[in-house]
């Protein structure tokens, strides 16, 4: 094994250890924050004949308590489409969004509990996703984060790991994505971007050396609104790798995956 491999692995193990420690710190802070922050909650009044409280944040959990019209509840937390509320008698339970929508704010207005829908799919500012597929015969796993400048144009930052039979590598790129019909449920897009690719041959391959090259790509694909915050995504990209050799390399990539917006 080469020296390089040894050092990388050592550093990986060290980074995991430090991540572990950071996690512990975050956990302890989260616990203490949970204890301290108990001051102000959103308060709504029940306008329906009654509000049903369930024992858990899911449609199957039993209803164990109801709160009558006119009484107020405090909204303690939200998990997906469920709200944890505290009634006037101190009982705590989970209420679904449809019922929370029927409650009134202190000023008498109906409460808005925004639910992600197809309009948000068009308008949402942030998106993150995971896609995987084929990169010129190698496997590729990518994560990306995107920010919409407006419904049509967004900027995405991608990080990918490439795992092939003969070499491995990673790739980072910045893309501009243009959606011509962002309000369609199946929304086609075009993308253009640039970045760097790093490849290193597998340890069983004797020849070859590590390379870092610049890349540029064009591509096209579809974003499909699935449900709630979920988006399905499929795309094709054509890469040009600007190598230091006589010829540039061309790589075709096919990927599919899912994303969610927020």
Partner 1 sequence: MESRFRVLFLVLPMIALTLSGCAATKSLFGRGDKSAPPPAELPQGQVIEPEVERRKVKEPKIDTEDFEIGAFVGVLSIEDFGSDFVYGARIAYHVTEGFFVEGTAGQTKAGLTSFEILSGGAPLLSDSDRQYTYYNLNLGYNILPGEVFIGEGRAYNNALYLIGGLGSTRFAGDDRFTVNFGVGYRFLFNDSVAFHFDFRDHLYDIDLLGEEKTTHNLEAHVGVTMFF
Angstrom distances, CA of residue 152 to CA of 148, 176, 177, 182: 8, 10, 8, 6
9: exposed, middle or buried (Cβ count in 10 Å: 0-12, 13-18, 19+) = exposed
Does 63 help bind partner 1 (rule: CB under 8 A)?
no
Task: Give the distance from CA 121 to its chain's centroid.
Answer: 13
Residue range at the interface with partner 1 (CB under 8 A); choices 2-10, 45-53, 65-73, 206-214: 2-10
Least distance (Å) from partner 1 to the CB of residue 180? Answer: 7
Binding residue for partner 1 (CB under 8 A) from 45, 66, 104, 132? 132
Does 150 help bind partner 1 (rule: CB under 8 A)?
yes
Residue with tokens 């616990």: 31
Does 238 help bind partner 1 (rule: CB under 8 A)?
yes
Task: Give the distance from CA 234 to its chain's centroid.
Answer: 16
Does 236 help bind partner 1 (rule: CB under 8 A)?
no
d(CA 141, CA 139): 7
Q: For residue 73, which of 34, 32, 113, 36 has the smallest C-alpha distance?
A: 113
Binding residue for partner 1 (CB under 8 A) from 18, 32, 55, 212? 55
Interaction mask 75-94, partner 1, x per CB under 8 A: xxxxxxxxxx----------
User: 3-state SS string over 46-109?
Assistant: ECCCEEEEECCCCCCCCEEEEEECCCEEEEEEEECCEEEEECCCCCEEEEEHHHHCCEECCCCC
Binding residue for partner 1 (CB under 8 A) from 42, 65, 198, 211? 42
* CA angle 77–61–31, rounded 5-degree value: 35
Residues in region 12-31 near partner 1 by CB under 8 A: 12-13, 16, 19-20, 23-24, 26-27, 30-31
Q: Which is nearer to partner 1, 130 or 186 (CB)?
A: 130
Q: Which is nearer to partner 1, 104 or 218 (CB)?
A: 218
Tokens found for residue 186: 């199946």
Least distance (Å) from partner 1 to the CB of residue 169? Answer: 9
Interaction mask 151-170, partner 1, x per CB under 8 A: xxx-------x-x----x--
Residues in region 192-211 near partner 1 by CB under 8 A: 192, 202-204
Longest dimension (CA), the chain: 78
Least distance (Å) from partner 1 to the CB of residue 80? Answer: 5
């Amino acid at each position: 094994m080469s020296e390089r491999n040894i050092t990388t692995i050592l550093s990986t193990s060290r980074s995991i250890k430090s991540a572990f420690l950071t996690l512990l710190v975050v956990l302890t802070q989260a616990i203490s924050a949970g204890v301290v922050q108990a001051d102000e909650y959103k308060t709504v009044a029940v306008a329906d004949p009654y509000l049903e409280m369930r024992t858990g944040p899911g449609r199957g959990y039993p209803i164990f308590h109801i709160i009558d019209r006119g009484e107020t509840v405090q909204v303690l937390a939200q998990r997906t489409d469920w709200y944890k509320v505290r009634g006037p008698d101190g009982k705590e339970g989970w209420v679904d969004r449809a019922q929370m929508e029927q409650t009134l704010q202190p000023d008498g207005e109906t409460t808005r509990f925004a639910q992600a829908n197809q309009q948000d799919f068009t308008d949402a500012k942030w998106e993150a996703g995971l896609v995987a597929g084929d990169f010129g015969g190698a496997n590729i796993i990518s994560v990306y984060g995107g920010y919409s400048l407006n419904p049509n144009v967004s900027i995405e930052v991608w990080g990918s790991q490439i795992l092939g039979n003969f070499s491995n590598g990673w790739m980072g790129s910045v893309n501009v994505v243009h959606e011509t019909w962002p309000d369609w449920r199946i929304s086609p897009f075009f993308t253009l971007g640039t970045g760097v690719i790093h490849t290193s041959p597998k340890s069983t391959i004797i020849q070859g050396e590590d390379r870092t090259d610049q890349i540029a790509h064009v591509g096209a694909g579809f974003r499909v609104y699935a449900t709630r915050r979920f988006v399905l995504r499929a795309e094709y990209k054509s890469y040009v790798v600007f190598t230091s050799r006589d010829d540039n390399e061309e790589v075709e990539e096919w990927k599919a995956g899912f994303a969610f917006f927020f």
